[in-house]
Structure 1
Amino acid sequence: MTTTFFLVRHAAHGLLDRVLVGRTPRIGLSDDGRRQARTLAARLAREELTAVHSSPRERAQETANPIAAAARTVVTLAPDLDEIDVGEWTGRSFEEIGRDPRWRVWNEQRARARTPGGESMREVQERAVRVLDHLARAHPEGRIAAVSHGDVIRAALLHYLGLELDAYDRIEVSPAGISTLVVGAWGARILALNERVAA
């Protein structure tokens, strides 16, 4: 028996690529992001989803809601799908963070580094894999959309690929991108990586 996951990065918000929003509250989707969410919902409606789980962040829930509506189900919040806690960097511009020497360490040593006052990538990976493994056991033969965040999805995919966390930048996970993962007692297989259905 296998469980199929559609790992969905939330759609675009207005601060994308300018600010490390992290767990900043009340960051919702932009107009483009809402359009992307509708396109994602139409694409995933063909997959006969049995459940939709989402990070508690507003931008993730706003992405998940139309997906769940199209699947005639409801969104279940999953705290383990939450964005990385980036600590002191939360809400700061990438220009500002780029002057912090710890930022370079974070990006060059993801397997060992920790965000200042926040999480390590290893902790993020552990919780992401924990929730996916739990859902696979709870929903054998399930078809589940899991709406989360770029680095959380990367961390999970690296685990199932058997790659180290320092390889995080080898995987592109775009806003509104879908990566399809199948998990069973025999192991795991990635069927699609960063499918772009909404530019």
Structure 2
Amino acid sequence: MESTILLVRHASHPLLGRTLCGRMPGVSLDDAGRAQAARLGARIAARAPAAIHTSPLERARETADLLAEACGCPVLPCDGLNEIDFGAWSGQDFPALADDPRWTTWNEARATSRPPGGESMVEAQVRVVAALDGLRRRHPGRVVVAVSHADVIKAAILWAVGASLDAYHRIEIGPAGVSALALRDGGATLLSMNEGLA
């Protein structure tokens, strides 16, 4: 049976665009992010989701909690929605990473490279696709919200459309952006991508 998965990127936080946060702890939403999530909750409530599943990281959990206030449905942790493990790069500012040739390789060849001591995008894609299929099976025929992170959402979308992970840079997933997949046995259809709050 087909289910609709609403892939939601966490809302904004103070380090956005400055630091590769990865899985570092203590990254919480800022006031703008909390306002984004509250506005998004009102929109998502109209879809009557069965549940909100979330990455375990603070910025995703806080987004999920604000969505749940509007939707009146439970928030459930899902490790498969976690951010990519960026290993030694976690917590580094982007200007510092620009001098690392491995960072250049990572951004030019996502299908074949890996962060130092971290997780490849292929591994992240396998993980998130398995998690989404689990949500489909858990909530057959329903709308489900999955709060995650930009690169993880990109990996899921690229899987759904049958594109290489090297095409990740052709997709923009903004803070509190929503993308929708229809999942069924054996595949998925991309219904929408990076819908903002306008």
TM-score range, shorter chain: over 0.9
2:61 match: 61
In the TM superposition, what is the alpha-carbon distance from 1:187 to its structure 2 partner? Answer: 3.1
Q: Count matched residues.
A: 198
**TM-score normalized by the length of structure 1:** 0.97
SS of corresponding position for 1:32: helix
SS of corresponding position for 2:14: coil
1:179 match: 179
2:92 match: 92
1:150 match: 150
2:40 match: 40
In the TM superposition, what is the alpha-carbon distance from 1:186 to its structure 2 partner? Answer: 6.2
In the aligned structure 1, how far is the partner of 2:186 from the partner of 2:88?
41
Identical columns (%): 51
Which has the higher mean CA deviation after the structures are superposed, 121-130 or 72-81? 72-81
Q: Is the 8 A contact 2:42 2:71 kept in 1?
A: no
In the aligned structure 1, how far is the partner of 2:193 from the partner of 2:140?
22
In the aligned structure 2, how far is the partner of 1:117 from the partner of 1:156?
23
1:101 match: 101
In the TM superposition, what is the alpha-carbon distance from 1:14 to its structure 2 partner? Answer: 0.1
1:61-80 mapped onto 2 (5 Å cutoff): 61-80=61-80
**Residues 7-41 of structure 1: CA distance to partner in whole angstroms, max 9, x if unpaired?**
00000000100000111101000110000010110
1:170 match: 170
In the aligned structure 1, how far is the partner of 2:186 from the partner of 2:77?
28
In the TM superposition, what is the alpha-carbon distance from 1:174 to its structure 2 partner? Answer: 0.6
Q: Is the 8 A contact 1:50 1:71 kept in 2?
A: no
Which has the higher mean CA deviation after the structures are superposed, 142-151 or 186-195? 186-195
**Residues 61-117 of structure 1: CA distance to partner in whole angstroms, max 9, x if unpaired?**
010002112221221000110011101111110000111000000000000000001
In the aligned structure 2, how far is the partner of 1:128 from the partner of 1:186?
15
Q: Give, as a single letter, the amino acid of the residue that structure 2 aligns with 1:135.
A: L
**TM-score normalized by the length of structure 2:** 0.98
SS of corresponding position for 1:37: helix
In the aligned structure 1, how far is the partner of 2:52 from the partner of 2:115?
29
In the TM superposition, what is the alpha-carbon distance from 1:49 to its structure 2 partner? Answer: 0.5
- Is there any run of 5+ residues in structure 1 with no aligned partner, and where? none
Aligned-residue RMSD, C-alpha? 1.0
SS of corresponding position for 1:47: coil
Q: After TM superposition, which residue ranges in structure 1, 4 or more long, deviate above 4 angstroms?
A: none
Q: Is the 8 A contact 2:56 2:78 kept in 1?
A: yes
